[in-house]
Chain A
Amino acid sequence: MIYLFVGIAGSLGAMLRYGIGLAFYQADAAFPISTLLINLAGSFLLAWLTGFVFTKANLSTAVQSAIGTGFVGSFTTFSTLSVETVDLFHDERLLLAILYVLTSIIGGLTMSKLGYQTVVRDESR
């Protein structure tokens, strides 16, 4: 049953990612901004959910897995990031490729940590 929940939530996350990608789509775009924004937003969301919401709210493991692993996990993606980086290399946009990877590393860790720090602030009250 838990697998079904994860699957349904995962399909919603994937469709939302695709929908946002369509909304941001520009044929002449030099930088994969849509994947980056989705990944950064999702990193914050998962850290906040895991560190704060799931520890406070009395949710079943199935619901937690569906939302965290299923929905947010599928909303964000790593394979697209890898392929987009390779595409930038192929287009000989080496600096953009490096910038993309660095923004993803630093931005992703920062957003994830920010999601966690929400907990610390709240618990210290």
Chain B
Amino acid sequence: MSEIVFILVGIGGFVGAIARFAISQLVKRNFRFTIPAATVFVNVAGSFLLGLLNGLHVGEYILLLAGTGFCGAFTTFSTFKLEAVQLHLREQKRAFIFYTIFTYAGGIALAFVGYQLGMLFH
């Protein structure tokens, strides 16, 4: 029982981490943005998806696999903060402020939208 829940979170985390890494590699190779756009994308998209899963009231196992595992690992806090500090140290104050506000406002707003949307189909 307890092994199963950890395995579900682990599988979701495996896929989520690879997906985040792949997106960051793809964006780094093809685009140049003033703010770390790949991290913004994963954090905002992952927040929407987790909100949606919560609104849909999916079962415990699906929530562990897709929510705690996948969305949890697909989104990241540590990279977000490190990139923000690096912008700040490079004196890119506007990018630093924009990055922080955009991530929090976008993440929370889309988690809310996802939740409401999920409730509609629940």
The CA of A18 and the CA of B63, in the complex, are separated in Å by 12
A15-52 vs B: 1/0 string, CB under 8 Å?
10111010000000000000000010011011100100
Contact B21 A72 (CB under 8 A): no
Residues of B within 8 A of A83 (CB): 47, 50-51, 54, 111, 115
- B18, B76, B84: which contacts A3 (Cβ < 8 A)? B18
Given A13-B13, A18-B9, A46-B82, CB of A3 within 8 Å of CB of B21: yes
Residues of A within 8 A of B20 (CB): 10, 69, 73-74
With an 8 A cutoff between CB atoms, is A105 at the interface? Answer: yes
With an 8 A cutoff between CB atoms, is A63 at the interface? Answer: no
Residues of A in contact with B, size category: 35 or more
Contact A86 B6 (CB under 8 A): no
Provide the main secondary structure of the chain B interface.
Answer: helix
Contact A46 B78 (CB under 8 A): yes
Residues of B within 8 A of A21 (CB): 68
Contact A15 B13 (CB under 8 A): yes
Provide the main secondary structure of the chain A interface.
Answer: helix
A65-86 vs B: 1/0 string, CB under 8 Å?
1001110111111111111011
Name the interface residues of B105-122: CB closer than 8 Å to any CB of A.
Answer: 107-108, 110-112, 115
Contact A112 B6 (CB under 8 A): no
Residue of chain B at shortest CB distance from A71: B17
Residue of chain B at shortest CB distance from A75: B78
Given A6-B18, A79-B75, CB of A109 within 8 Å of CB of B47: no
Minimum Cβ distance to chain B for residue A76 (Å): 4
The CA of A101 and the CA of B18, in the complex, are separated in Å by 27
The 8 tightest CB contacts between A and B, nearest first, are A10-B17, A14-B13, A74-B73, A82-B47, A82-B111, A76-B77, A46-B78, A78-B75
Q: Give the B-binding residues of A (Cβ under 8 A).
A: 3, 6-15, 17-19, 21, 39, 42-43, 45-47, 50, 65, 68-70, 72-83, 85-86, 89, 101, 104-105, 108-109, 111-113, 115-116
Given pairs A76-B78, A101-B104, 15 additional interface contacts (CB within 8 A):
A13-B73, A14-B9, A15-B6, A18-B5, A47-B82, A50-B82, A73-B17, A73-B20, A78-B75, A81-B107, A83-B51, A83-B115, A85-B108, A105-B100, A109-B85
